Structures are given as C-alpha cells and as structure tokens.
Amino acid sequence: MLLRTDTHLVTLLGPGGTGKTRLSLQVAQELLHQFPNGVYFVPLADDTDANQFISRVAQQLAVREGGRPLLENVKDYLRDKQILLVLDNFEQLVSAASVAADLLAAAPQVKILVSSRIALNLQGEHEFQVPPLDLPQAENEPALENLIENEAVSLFVERARTAQANFALTSDNASAVAEICRRLDGLPLALELAAARIKLLPPQAILARLDDKLKLLTGGARDLPARHQTLRNTLEWSYDLLNRDEKILYARLSVFVGGFTLEAAEAVCNQDGQLDILESLTTLVNNSLVRQETTADGESRFGMLETIRAYALERLAERGEMEAVRAQHARYFGDVILNRMGFMQLYSANTLHWLNWLERENDNIRPALTLILTASGGGEFAAGIVASLSWFWYRRGYLIEGRMWCERLLASPDLQAASTFRAMALGVSGLLALWQGRQDDALAQLQAGLAIERELADEQWVAFLLMGVAVALVNMGQDSAAQPMLEESHRRFKAQNIAPFSAISLVHLGNAELGLGHPERARAYHEEALAEARLIDENWLIAFALNNLGEVARTQGQLERARKYYQEGEALLRTTGDRGDVARFVHNLGYIAQHDEEFELAESQFRKSLTMFRRLGNRRGIAESLAGLAGLKARQGQVEWGTIMLSAAESVLKITGGAWWPADRVEVERNREMMRSALTADEFAKAWKRGGAMTIDQAIGFASNEA
C-alpha cells in the first residue's frame, strides 16, 4: 500500500495489544531503502495534548523550535524530502489529524504510516485492520512440530523461555498452550502477559486461571471489540496475580511519563518506606507489566506500555492516591532540578550528565512543573526550577517551550508583586527571547528584571541581569552602552566567586571591545576567559571562548589562526547536542573555506549552517548564512544574484533587531563594495531593492531555488 504512487497515508487499525507498533517497525525496516531521506519513528503514546504532536515530529526530525510557528519549520524541512514518518499510537491525538494532512499537502514525497485504535478520517487515508496472530485450529490439533510454527504459539513459547529458560513445548503442554493462544485471541500483549507467568505456573494452571477470569470478568462496554475486552480481562488477571506490595507499586508507577529510574521509583512510590521497590519492580518486569532498557550511559531505565499504564492509572485512582503520588512526583523532580542539579551544575564539568538527564526526563518534568506552578504558593518554587532549566532549553533547542513556561510563570498570582522571583522569571524570559533573535523583547524584560533587583538591593541576581542587558545591547550594536555594564557584572561575578559567569562575562567584554574596534583588547579578554574555562573543564565554555578568539582573528585577516580556533571549538561540541553553537562554527568555517578559494566546500558550509539555523528558528543565524552565500556567489560571477541575496540578508537581520557581528560586518561591507563596483548604479539599486523587499521565507526560497 505504501509503495503505491497514489497512496500517502496508511493507518494500521486495531485495539491495544494487537502488535500495531511491532508491525509498523517491521514495515519501516523493510522500506528503509525506498526513502532516501530516511524513515523516522515518532512515538506518541505518552502524548495526550494535540498541540504536542508537531513538537514530537519536530524532535524526531531534529527540527528545532524558535523564530516562527514550529509547524511551518517542519513543513519547510519536509517539502522536498522523500521520507516515511511512522506515527505510533495516534489515537490520543486524533484531533491533530489535520496537522498530518497539512504535512502531506506541503510535502508531496512524504508518506505517513500511522498506528492507531481510531481511524484519522482523512481524505486519501488507506486503512489496514491489523489481525491477531494466526491461531492453531481447535479441531484436528496439528502435530507438535507443526504447532511450533504457528504465530501465536511461537510468540508464547519465545516469551515463556524469557521467563523460564528451560521451558519447551511438549506433548504434555501443547494442548494447553494452544488453548491459551485461542482464548487470548492471538493478541501479542495478552500472550506476553500470560507467558510471563510460566515462572510460577505451568500452562495447564495458566489456562485454568485464565478460564476462570474470563468467566468472572466481562471488562469494558459491550459495544467494544471482543479482543479489547479480552485484553482488559488479561490485564485484570495479571494484576490480580500480583501481591499487595506489587499492586501498590504498579499503580503508583503510572504517574511517570516517558519512563523512570529505580531511584525515582523509590522516591516517588515509597515515601513511607514500606515497599521493597527492587523486589516488586523485578516482579513487574518479569510479568511484562514494566519494560526495562539500558541508557547510553549504562543506567537502567523502566517504562510501561501505554495500555498497561492506563490500566495502572485506573488502579491508582481506585486507591485514592492519585493526588498524593502526583504531588510526590512533582516534588521529586523539582527537588532534583533545584537542589541536586541546581543552577550552576549546567555550567560545570558535570554539564553533559545533567543535560542528558534533563533530556531523558523532560516528559516527567513537564507535568511536574505544571503541578508546581498551579499549586497554591507554588510560583516561587517554579521560578527557581525555570531558572535552572533555562540553559537546558537554550542548549537543546527548546526556546519556544521555555518562553511558554516563562509566560505562565509571570502570570502566576505568586509573582505579581516586585520580588526576586519575578525578576528571575523576567530575566529567563528575556534571555530566551535574546537567543531567539528578539532583541527588543529581550531588552525590555531584562531591564525590567534588573530594575526590580536594583530596587530590592538583591546582589545575587544583579550581576546576571546586568550581563543579560549588556548582551542584548551588544547584539544590537550598542557596544559602548554595554561595556560598563559588562565590567560591573564581571566584578560582581569575581566577588561572588562564580567562575563560569566570570569567564562568560569576559568573553562578552571582548565582544564589546571588538565591536568598538579594539581587536587586541578583545583578544586579551578572550584569552583570559579561555584560561578560566579550561580550569572549569566545561566544553561549551571552552568552545565559546575559542569561537570568539576566532572572530578576532578573522576580523584581523588571520585566517589560519581563526581556522584552528573554530575547528577546536566545533570538535568540543560534536557530542554535546549543542546544535545552535555547532551551526555557528559551521558558518564561520564557510568563510575560511571561501578565503582559501575552496568554493564548493564554502557553499556546502553555508548551506549546511542555513539548514541548521532554520531548524532552530534562529533568524540571526539565517541572516548570517544568507550573507555568506551572497558574497560567495558574487565572487564566483553571480553578482546580481549575490546583491539580491545580501540585501535580503540585511533585511532579515533588521527584523531581528540586531546588528552584524564585527567579523561578519567586515565580510558584508567588503562584499557590498565589490558588488557595487561590478554593477552599474541602476543594476545595483534594482537588485538591492528587490532583496530588501523579501520576507524571511522568500529569502530562504530564493537561496534554495538557486541551489
């Protein structure tokens, strides 16, 4: 179906537990060679808000947030791609079906494979009812050697061997196994749950208990599919076989979204210390109620299939513990972020550990932060958490989400009066706006936060907010106004012994000096910052100083020196997830290649950085990449095209409220003069006017069409 030229959307339909996910994964694997731009699996089981759908798709495609609506960034990315999107467990997001239709309309070569309990009801949708596994015939029982080839029996035996290594299908148990498969209608999840009991019960005993339960429990409404009722009965049966402590733990674990660690389970689900978490969790894993996996850093992590988690949530509500366990869940994650990680750990040698932890736990952090923020008097606690998360949102590209949390925080009744917590929220919101290229918004919020802190005479946050205001001014080209603020913030950071921010403020002081035309003073500041960063041993801090040393060298025409700084900085960030900062190194190295007359490499670098900045929604970066392409093409003879593109790049930069960085300004001014001299006055004026009238999308389209 998917390979037909007129088919773009196929939906695998069936109740929970039929193996829709497994089937979609197999289809995706077998079609990898058919989609040159990739096959992407998008898990949606933990998402209940339709607004999260496009964020999840963007996350899998590595399309970052920022700049403009995320849907438009995703559509732009997919527009010319041959990609298969596998959307798994879509039933909770059917209200977002129109978004899937928008993606298909914008990207004619994209195909979508959906697994869902509910059809999307979209035009052109091709439905495929996922059948259960083949069942052994009730009459004329096949021979033992043939029975093991049956799909349902094969799965049961495979899972039973996982629970008990010496299990085998024999003439004594074959009939019972076949009947279990039939009674469970060949549902993979139900078979796995039943097979997990082999450790305690032989097949004949499993069949007897299963038979009793099916007679006792009807499960679900009569108008639901029979298999759905059977699966529910299987879950109830599996739950009833747990002991008291295992039942309690199973129910409480349902508050975790996107998985959990053993430590988290202990903290959230065993506050009174009455449960043996390790023993009970082992039982839940063995009974296929909880899945276990190992993270990249070797940590064990656990999670539930959504059907099983939904049933566990019902049991938690039945126990009357929902509110208390969710509150404990929020306290745990809030405490880890605020007290164990804290604000400064993300600027230390432990940065990568905490960034990866936050990435893994982001689905848990969101409901925890929501609960804290909406709780009476929770605003101040939430403000500390938001401040601690701000650097994670920047480095991993969650800028829009971060600003959303800031907006909610600033609207909290707890933060309406002038206080340090309101100043913190304003400062974080301002920094996120600054990183998005919204300089005016950023400056206003940062100045408002600074005014509060000055009035309160609160020394702790004054230095941070001073530096934030100054950086916004530097980004706007107002270096002389920024310089005294940066000097004051640096003195404060030194006095408070906050080494990472002492180094950061030194880099910004160097940037201001470079903007004022003092490259040697700038170099001195950056070298001092680099020395401090190396002592702290944090890759981003080191790379930040190296990048700006490269900018000084490039401004002075010392291109080989600049290349070494850029390459060293880029290498430090290759495994840290810092896509935005890597994009800047890619862009800067494009200019080095251009000056070496490696034009093909330079174009590749500029186009690569443009793609990366577009995914991030970084409008300043987009302008810089467009300007790089403009100068490169003009030097290769396409002067009119380059003039249009350079004018468009300056228009894009103007939209951000920013000014060119000094090194790029040198390139832009040199290229503009070269273009002006190569064209007649009338030709230059017409081309410049055409580019200046372009929107961001039109400028990007113009650059892409040339390619």
Number of folded domains in the chain? Answer: 5
Quick check: 257 and 367 in contact, CB under 8 A? yes
Distance CA 466, CA 199 (A): 64
Asked if the structure places residue 444 within a domain, the reply is yes
Q: Are residues 200 and 299 in the same domain?
A: no
pLDDT of residue 42: 93
Residue 226 has pLDDT above 60, yes or no: no
Asked if the structure places residue 115 within a domain, the reply is yes
Asked if the structure places residue 509 within a domain, the reply is no
Q: What's this model's pTM, rounded to 2 decimal places?
A: 0.75
pLDDT tens-digit series, residues 84-106: 999 998 987 888 899 999 999 99
Q: Are residues 450 and 329 in the same domain?
A: yes
Asked if the structure places residue 453 within a domain, the reply is yes
pLDDT tens-digit series, residues 38-78: 999 999 877 777 778 998 999 999 998 766 889 999 999 99
Q: Are residues 234 and 267 in the same domain?
A: no
Residue 206 has pLDDT above 60, yes or no: yes
Of 266, 293, 320, the residue that ends a domain is: 320
Asked if the structure places residue 565 within a domain, the reply is no
Domain enclosing residue 313, as ranges: 244-320
Q: Are residues 152 and 175 in the same domain?
A: yes
Of 428, 457, 486, the residue that ends a domain is: 457
Residue 610 has pLDDT above 80, yes or no: yes
- 119: CATH: 3.40.50.300
Query: Distances from the Cα of 260 to the Cαs of 324, 361, 449, in angstroms?
Result: 18, 8, 36
Residue 274 has pLDDT above 80, yes or no: yes
pLDDT of residue 141: 66
Residue 380 has pLDDT above 70, yes or no: yes
Asked if the structure places residue 682 within a domain, the reply is yes
Of 280, 295, 320, the residue that ends a domain is: 320
What is the SS3 assignment for 125? strand
Q: Are residues 345 and 443 in the same domain?
A: yes
pLDDT tens-digit series, residues 170-187: 989 999 999 999 888 788
Residue 125 has pLDDT above 60, yes or no: yes
Closest CA to 404 of 369, 355, 357, 446: 369
Q: Are residues 577 and 698 in the same domain?
A: yes
Q: Are residues 225 and 253 in the same domain?
A: no
Distance CA 55, CA 48 (A): 13
Residue 142 has pLDDT above 70, yes or no: no
Structure tokens at 85: 């999107």
Asked if the structure places residue 600 within a domain, the reply is yes
Which residues on neighbouring strands pair with residue 128, listed in sequence order? 12
pLDDT of residue 140: 59
Q: Are residues 277 and 399 in the same domain?
A: no
Amino acid at 26: Q
pLDDT of residue 579: 78
Work out whether the CA dihedral 366, 371, 372, 374 comes out positive or negative.
Answer: positive
Q: Are residues 650 and 683 in the same domain?
A: yes
Amino acid at 462: V
- 253: CATH: 1.10.10.10
Q: What are phi and psi of 301, to 5 degrees?
A: -135, 145
Q: Which helix (H) or strand (E) holds 86?
A: strand 84-88
Distance CA 195, CA 65 (A): 44
Q: Are residues 335 and 449 in the same domain?
A: yes
pLDDT tens-digit series, residues 292-346: 888 877 889 999 876 678 889 989 999 999 999 999 999 999 999 999 998 899 9
Q: Are residues 627 and 686 in the same domain?
A: yes
Q: Are residues 124 and 149 in the same domain?
A: no
Distance CA 315, CA 311 (A): 7
Quick check: 86 and 60 in contact, CB under 8 A? no
pLDDT of residue 311: 85
Distance CA 29, CA 317 (A): 39
Residue 189 has pLDDT above 60, yes or no: yes
pLDDT of residue 635: 93
- 369: CATH: 1.25.40
Distance CA 424, CA 384 (A): 8
Closest CA to 552 of 435, 671, 434, 664: 664
Asked if the structure places residue 660 within a domain, the reply is yes
